[in-house]
């Protein structure tokens, strides 16, 4: 089956779904339902596929016509066609890749905000400093994508790194791109704490979860233990005067989350519930993915925290992504310039999915 045939078969299904969604969204009674925001989000996702598809079809026609002109005997027409053809083909290939990424994506969470959890691993204080480096990389990348970033919780180390930091990024394709960061990240460098110049290896883990709304995954209040407590760590006198920090425990699983970033107990509770909902949703998703193991194998960005995905080598100014085997400039990665790296992962995933069809 050719790429065009794959796209045509999937696009037909999406166009029928779009027509159905447009009718539902136009219904005034539907607008009062709790899942109405989900319909709008799905509608927006479909439009991001179908609008480029129409341009893709138009380009296919233009390329065919331009190739005919390139075979003309008239030298002026032929030269003009040959001049235009490369740009048309380049745009065509770029559109094809972006459409395929969305059409082949079985995960419908790509356009949701992403909740990112970074935790220092082996390496003590140096691992915490590396976790801080990862947070700065993602912060800078979020700026390049015009995403908003909100810290939900953090635990600082003595030297200014992070034992743990959890934040949310919101924007176009936030989860679709950030999901590739899930896994183990390893750093090789001379730590600030090293007096003899020896290179150490330390690690941090990253987990990326889609933000899940209450309508998608409802938490049972009877299964929750919610505790208010005083904040700890930096924050001035205010944190010691009020019990604004919130800890929520999901009793059936024992999963616990806490949030103390905000001075408002109400907002801290909302953030903690969002983190818990995302983690429980991910547990359910992993069970379903295990049942669909073929899809899981073709999902390059579906690794877990135990999978080592990347090494940051300071002495050699190199970052190696172990899933593709490609190397990238450490300087560029530290500046948050992740697009080339993520594009290579998207391409690898796209090829794996196409090969499985």
pLDDT per position as a tens digit, 261-282: 888 889 999 999 999 999 998 8
**Domain boundaries 221-289, CATH class:** alpha beta
Q: What is the pLDDT of residues 324-334, one digit of tens each?
A: 999 999 999 99
Whether CATH 3.30.300.30 fits 114-215+303-356: no
Q: What is the pLDDT of residues 203-259, one digit of tens each?
A: 999 999 999 877 678 889 999 999 998 776 554 444 445 678 999 999 999 999 999
> How many secondary structure helices (H) and strands (E) does the chain include?
10, 11
CATH of 3-103, one of 1.10.10, 3.40.50, 1.10.287, 1.20.58: 1.20.58
Place of tokens 């990348």: 141
* pLDDT score recorded for residue 319: 98
Q: Helices marked H in the chain — which ranges?
A: 3-26, 36-70, 75-103, 124-144, 174-178, 238-241, 265-291, 293-297, 330-334, 339-356
pLDDT of 137 over the 80 cut: yes
* pLDDT score recorded for residue 304: 53
Query: In 232-260, which positions are buried (b, 16+ CB within 10 angstroms) versus exposed (e)?
Result: eeeeeeebeeeebbbbbbbeeeeeebbbb
User: CA 154 to CA 114: how far, in whole Å?
Assistant: 16
Residues of the chain with CATH 3.30.70.1660: 114-215+303-356
User: CA 46 to CA 12: how far, in whole Å?
Assistant: 12
End-to-end CA distance of the chain: 8
Tell me the average pLDDT of the chain: 87
pTM for the model stands at 0.80
Q: How confident is the model at residue 41 (pLDDT cuts 50, 70, 90)?
A: confident
User: CA 311 to CA 301: how far, in whole Å?
Assistant: 16
User: CA 44 to CA 141: how far, in whole Å?
Assistant: 23
Length of the chain: 357
**Treating both helix axes as pointing N-terminal to C-terminal, what angle do 3-26 and 75-103 enclose, rounded to 10 degrees?**
60
Q: What does the pLDDT average to over 42-54?
A: 87
* pLDDT score recorded for residue 338: 97
Residues of the chain with CATH 3.30.160.20: 221-289
Read off the DSSP letter of residue 223: G
More confident residue, 141 or 72: 141
Burial of 186 (0-12, 13-18, 19+ CB in 10 A): buried
Place of tokens 């400093």: 129
Taking phi over 0 as left and psi of -120 to 50 as alpha, with beta for the rest, 56 belongs to: alpha
Residues of the chain with CATH 1.20.58: 3-103
* pLDDT score recorded for residue 294: 52
């Amino acid at each position: 089956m050719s790429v065009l045939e794959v796209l045509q078969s999937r696009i037909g299904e999406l166009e029928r779904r779009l027509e159905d969604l447009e009718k539902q969204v136009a219904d005034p009674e539907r607008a009062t339902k709790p899942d109405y925001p989900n319909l709008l989000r799905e509608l927006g996702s479909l439009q991001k596929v179908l609008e480029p598809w129409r341009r893709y079809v138009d380009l296919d026609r233009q390329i065919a016509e331009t190739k005919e002109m390139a075979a003309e005997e008239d030298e002026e027409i032929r030269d003009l066609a040959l001049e235009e053809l490369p740009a048309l083909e380049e745009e065509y290939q770029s559109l094809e890749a972006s459409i395929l990424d969305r059409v082949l994506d079985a995960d419908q969470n790509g356009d949701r905000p992403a909740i990112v959890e970074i935790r220092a691993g082996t390496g003590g204080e140096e691992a915490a400093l590396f976790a801080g480096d990862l947070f700065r990389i993602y912060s800078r990348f979020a700026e390049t994508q015009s995403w908003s970033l909100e810290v939900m919780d953090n635990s600082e180390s003595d030297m200014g790194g992070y034992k743990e930091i959890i934040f949310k990024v919101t924007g176009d394709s936030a989860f679709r791109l950030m999901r590739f960061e899930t896994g183990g990240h390893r750093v090789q460098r001379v730590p600030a704490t090293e007096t003899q110049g020896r290179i150490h290896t330390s690690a941090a883990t990253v987990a990326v979860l889609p933000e899940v709304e209450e309508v998608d995954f409802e938490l049972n209040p009877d299964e929750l233990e919610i505790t208010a407590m005083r904040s700890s760590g930096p924050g001035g006198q205010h944190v010691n005067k009020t019990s604004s920090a919130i800890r929520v425990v999901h009793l059936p699983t024992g999963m616990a989350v806490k949030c103390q970033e905000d001075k408002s107990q109400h907002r801290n509770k909302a953030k903690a519930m969002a983190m818990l909902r995302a983690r429980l949703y991910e547990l359910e998703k992993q069970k379903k993915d295990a049942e669909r193991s073929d899809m899981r194998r073709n999902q390059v960005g579906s690794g877990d925290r135990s999978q080592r995905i990347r090494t940051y080598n300071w002495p050699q100014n190199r970052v190696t992504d172990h899933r593709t085997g490609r190397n990238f400039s450490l300087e560029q990665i530290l500046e948050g310039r992740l697009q080339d790296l993520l594009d290579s992962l998207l391409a690898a995933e796209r090829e794996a999915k196409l090969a499985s069809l």
